[in-house]
Structure 1
Amino acid sequence: MDRFKKAVELSFRIRPAGIALAAVYALSCLASRQFSLDQFFLPAGIRAAALLIVPTRLWPYLLLGEYAYFATLRIPMIDTYGLDWVILASTLLMPMAMLVVHLHRRKMPSEAATGLWLLSLSICTALFVPALNLSISYLLWSNPPPSNLLDAVDRTIFGHFAAIITLVPLAFLWSRRHADPGWANRFVAPTTLAILVMLILGLCMQLTSASAHTTRTHMVLLAALPAIALTFMHGWRGAAIAIPLLTLPLHGATPSTGLPSSFDLGTFATQQNMAVMSVALLALGSSISYHHQRAHARWQGERNALRLARSSHQSSERELRERAAHLKHLGEGMDSSLIEMVSWLKSQGHHAVANSLQHASSVHSRLFREQASLVYPTGLEQVGLYVTLQAGGACEIWSDTHRVTQPRLMGNPCLLSVDLQLASYRSLIEAVSLFLELENGQLCVRTRSGRAGGRRGIVAVVSLLDRGCTLSTRTTQQAVERLAGRVLAYGGAIHCKGNRLRLVLHESITHASPVAA
């Protein structure tokens, strides 16, 4: 029996924060009702916005606040409209709104579909909640309802929709404030200017006389321009900020009789246009956010691919560096053995053999070091790219072909990182080898390293000395196939035009790790 009691026992802990939330919600609805019109019913917008901002576990307190709000309003109406209407029309509206919001929250939108999701939520809430309220009223009112039913439906549904589409996007923006915290840092000055212009135009609406409907309409059209600018800059987020800045000043400037059911026909057409404009802004913002997300994903993918390619090249260079160090160690061992052999031959009186062996060993040792430097230019880490090109194995190979003129090297490459200098070295060696293989005539090599904006880099040009010649199609294709991987990994580019091949490699200054010259 005790186990059964524990199984069916329900516990509900009253939270002080929840009671405060209920009180704030009820007071907000009561206060906003005093400033509401039939064509702009603020409590409906507050209801939908609160359901978006408040976590689901605290929804019972919102329901409590809703009942307190209706109790204040409708208990005095029992004698006029009957107890049944007061109870049903007060208790069913918030559950209907909760059901609509819950069904939408089950499938939270992606960044690209947020605007359309907000439109769906606003339209459904503005249709089902007022429809339920009107149905109960027309079924249970003891007094005859107004004669023009369609007019009452039009005003009520539009008034709910105008308020909901004003507050719901802003509430959803607040609930998703951590999804993309960096969006507010984009276009700070233009965004501030657009908001300031809309605030000034909203103030002008308040200062306009109540009968100047045409003037207010013109101001609304002018305010639509910075609203469109905000949408273009920030997508659906810009629309969520712009819509309240458009609609709330117009609502505040709308003439009112002071009664909760006040209606102004002169502003109604402008508010209808404003509702259409709000829908268009959210749809446009959703499309812009979608394409921005796709572009950002594509940019991120390209960035990751380049980062992985660069990491792969750096890993290969580390392996080649270890191999070159091993070759250097072997070369030093062979040189040491040959020196000992030469010394022994001289001590035995074989001076001619010793001198011949010493000469042959020095030649082969030099050739061995040149080939080892082509595997990995270890001197580049100490003396930089230009000295390595002028004194390494590549320079000897170019000189032996008698086709490469003295390179013209300008700038200080030691300000670049070792990785970028290595990539430049490999690309330049490969480009010259390609020209020597596929082209005829003399070659000219020119480089310039320096800084442009926030980046450091190097430009290398390999060209035919004869300016009347043009690179063959095969050379151009091979250059792109054999050089693009390394060059693009460092954010560079390859340009083949006329008689020359131009390579550009660069890096961010913050990522550079210069070597000392």
Structure 2
Amino acid sequence: MSKLRRAVVPARGHHREKGVYVQREWLKKEFHLNLRISSSGVVLALVYAMLFWATRQMSVDQFYLPAGLRVAALLLCPPRTWPYLIVGEWAFFAQARFHLIDQYGLAWFVLASALLMPTVAAIVSLHRRRLAAGNPAWLLSIAALSAVAITALNQGLAYLLMPTLHDAVSWMGVAKYIIGDYLGILIFAPAALLWKHRHHLPRPTAGTGMMAVATLTVIGVLGVTAMQLPADDLLAKSSLRIAMLLPAAALTCMYGWRGAAISVAGLNLTIGLTLESSGLPGSFDPAAFMAQQVLAVTGTALLLLGSTISRYYRQFNAHDRLGRQAASLVRTAHLASEESRKEQALRMQTIGEDIDRSLQMAADLLKQRGYLAPAMDMLRRGASQSRLFREQISLVYPSDIEYAGLYVALQSGGVAGAWDATDRVARPRFSGDPCQLSLGLQLAAYRSLVDAVGVMLKHESGFLRVRAHCGRRGDSQGIVITVALLDPQRTLTAQTVARANEVLGGRALAYGGNPRCRRNRLRLVLVETRQPYRVPSGLSIDQITPRAVL
């Protein structure tokens, strides 16, 4: 029994050790516990601490740059490096407040130095997904919540842990600190977010850079001019500071969120650097504080306007890109259909040549046997049938268009014979050089003109007039097609208009136009760029296969 107990006890200990090991591995895997300290993280903490010290030296209570640096660092750095930022900020406060421990106590020294950065980090973490979704307007929520939270912590800890400063805690001080932190955030945070999303934005052009430089120059000149005015000329100073909003608004309207981020940062920085400061803690400029309140509201409005403009611009670009893709697909389908018709016409051409050769052989055989009259009659009938057959082939695919152009194909192919047979189509009037257009556009114009005349012949009575004009304008080239009733007093029926939109609408949209029916005419514009789309290549039907002997 004792041996059995001794055997069981180690087994239980073994299972207990194994369970603890499994639990430890689960914790490490689930929460990614990693206590290694990287050298790059230490460098990041040191750099952040030095930048925090530098921006604090240039700040006053109503214009607090470290608040903006704190949010910008959290936006630019991945969450795994946030602990180093927290350590860097705490290190700065620790060395700056160490000599005040005897005066205010250890609790104030620890809490007032260690709570600020984690609080803002939590706020930024809650907004990361919304910012990643492409809506920069949530940055204003980060700025407002951070300014309110940091001011509440500072003032609350000062009231609770610094009894000698109870009188310094006031609503005026709270408003001053909130606006100072908020404006400081609006300087660095939009620029940081702009830099972080730079790969998802259109590449700035030279004109964009020049406009941004010009705007910042105007803002800077106005700010320096306001600073040079006498101290008692408050109206002129406030007017110049408010005038700085005009170029900022213009840049926002032109470039959306990007313009708002640049202009608002320039506004805040210019006004902040031109504040009259005594260099002592609590330095305050009452005259500039009113302008800063207006600037806080206006900067918020500009950023909201810029984000709205950018969002609608992205939506417009997305719809425009989808429209171009749809038009390209329609053009590709049209060209594939023309290629299929071309192959079908080639097969029909081969069949026609075989028929012509068979008739020629039969006629020669009749001539050899002395039947000259039947042979000649067979040749005449064969020539007539061959011509009609070729006209039908040209209706399937107009081969003349590949080497002679659109107008020749319309005047010499089967379309001309079909129009003449109706006795309702006047002699067409063509102008311009269609050979300057791509083959794809000429084929689209050919099919559109044939369909338009067919719709008019079917749903309208009376004679028709057909016109076409080719031309260029800038980087675009195209053709204008008009099919009209000869009687100017008549108006197209609703059935004709509806059918024309159904038949011609898709092809017209693929080439940047749409059919328009006004009074007695149907008008269609087809346009392409100077770099035409690829079209069915290769030799024409008549270059591949010689004309029939008859």
Same fold (TM over 0.5): yes
CA distance in 2, matches of 1:327, 1:38: 88
Q: Name the SS for the 1:502 alignment partner.
A: strand
* Cα deviation code 1:373-403 (max 9, x no counterpart): 1011122112211111111111111222232
Q: CA 1:389 to 1:188, structure 2 compared with 1: closer, same or farther past 3 Å?
A: farther
Do structure 1's residue 242 and structure 2's residue 263 form an aligned pair?
yes
Counterpart residue number, 2:546: none
Among 353, 367, 376, the residue aligned to 1:346: 367
Q: Name the TM-score, length of structure 2 as normaliser.
A: 0.88
CA distance in 2, matches of 1:326, 1:269: 85
**Partners of 1:33 and 1:260 within 8 A in 2:** no
**Partners of 1:80 and 1:143 within 8 A in 2:** no
Among 437, 440, 458, the residue aligned to 1:419: 440
Letter in 2 for 1:92: L
Counterpart residue number, 2:278: 257
Deviation at 1:277, TM superposition (A): 0.9
Deviation at 1:14, TM superposition (A): 3.8
Do structure 1's residue 312 and structure 2's residue 333 form an aligned pair?
yes
Counterpart residue number, 2:131: 108
CA distance in 2, matches of 1:193, 1:36: 26
Do structure 1's residue 46 and structure 2's residue 75 form an aligned pair?
no
Among 36, 53, 60, the residue aligned to 2:59: 36
Do structure 1's residue 89 and structure 2's residue 98 form an aligned pair?
no
* Cα deviation code 1:73-100 (max 9, x no counterpart): 1111112211221111111111111111
**Partners of 1:45 and 1:168 within 8 A in 2:** yes
Deviation at 1:60, TM superposition (A): 2.1
Q: How does 1:263-412 map to 2 (within 5 A)?
A: 263-412=284-433
Q: CA 1:29 to 1:93, structure 2 compared with 1: closer, same or farther past 3 Å?
A: same
**Partners of 2:242 and 2:291 within 8 A in 1:** no
Q: How does 1:51-90 map to 2 (within 5 A)?
A: 51-90=74-113
Deviation at 1:56, TM superposition (A): 1.6
Deviation at 1:298, TM superposition (A): 2.6
CA distance in 1, matches of 2:172, 2:319: 51
Q: How does 1:502-513 map to 2 (within 5 A)?
A: 502-511=523-532
Q: CA 1:211 to 1:179, structure 2 compared with 1: closer, same or farther past 3 Å?
A: farther
CA distance in 2, matches of 1:34, 1:145: 25
* Cα deviation code 1:108-149 (max 9, x no counterpart): 3543x322x011111111111221232222222253422553
CA distance in 1, matches of 2:68, 2:91: 18
Which ranges in structure 1 are unaligned for 5 or more consecutive residues? none
Do structure 1's residue 24 and structure 2's residue 67 form an aligned pair?
no
CA distance in 2, matches of 1:259, 1:176: 38
Greater radius of gyration (CA): 2
Deviation at 1:174, TM superposition (A): 1.2
Among 481, 490, 504, the residue aligned to 1:460: 481
CA distance in 2, matches of 1:244, 1:177: 17
Counterpart residue number, 1:154: 175
Counterpart residue number, 1:469: 490
Among 486, 499, 507, the residue aligned to 1:478: 499
CA distance in 2, matches of 1:18, 1:209: 48
CA distance in 1, matches of 2:174, 2:217: 37
Which one is further off, 474-483 or 179-188? 179-188
Q: CA 1:99 to 1:213, structure 2 compared with 1: closer, same or farther past 3 Å?
A: same
Q: How does 1:106-145 map to 2 (within 5 A)?
A: 106-111=129-134, 113-115=135-137, 117-141=138-162, 143-145=164-166
Q: Give me the identity figure in percent.
A: 42
Which ranges in structure 2 are unaligned for 5 or more consecutive residues? 1-16, 541-550
Q: How does 1:434-445 map to 2 (within 5 A)?
A: 434-445=455-466
Which one is further off, 501-510 or 159-168? 159-168
CA distance in 1, matches of 2:202, 2:456: 51
Deviation at 1:345, TM superposition (A): 1.6
CA distance in 1, matches of 2:208, 2:53: 38
After superposition, the CA RMSD in angstroms is: 2.5
CA distance in 1, matches of 2:287, 2:245: 20
Among 181, 195, 205, the residue aligned to 2:216: 195
**Partners of 1:416 and 1:512 within 8 A in 2:** no
**Partners of 1:495 and 1:503 within 8 A in 2:** yes
Q: Name the SS for the 1:449 alignment partner.
A: strand
Counterpart residue number, 1:179: 200
CA distance in 2, matches of 1:105, 1:205: 39
Q: How does 1:201-220 map to 2 (within 5 A)?
A: 201-220=222-241
Deviation at 1:513, TM superposition (A): 6.2
Deviation at 1:199, TM superposition (A): 2.9
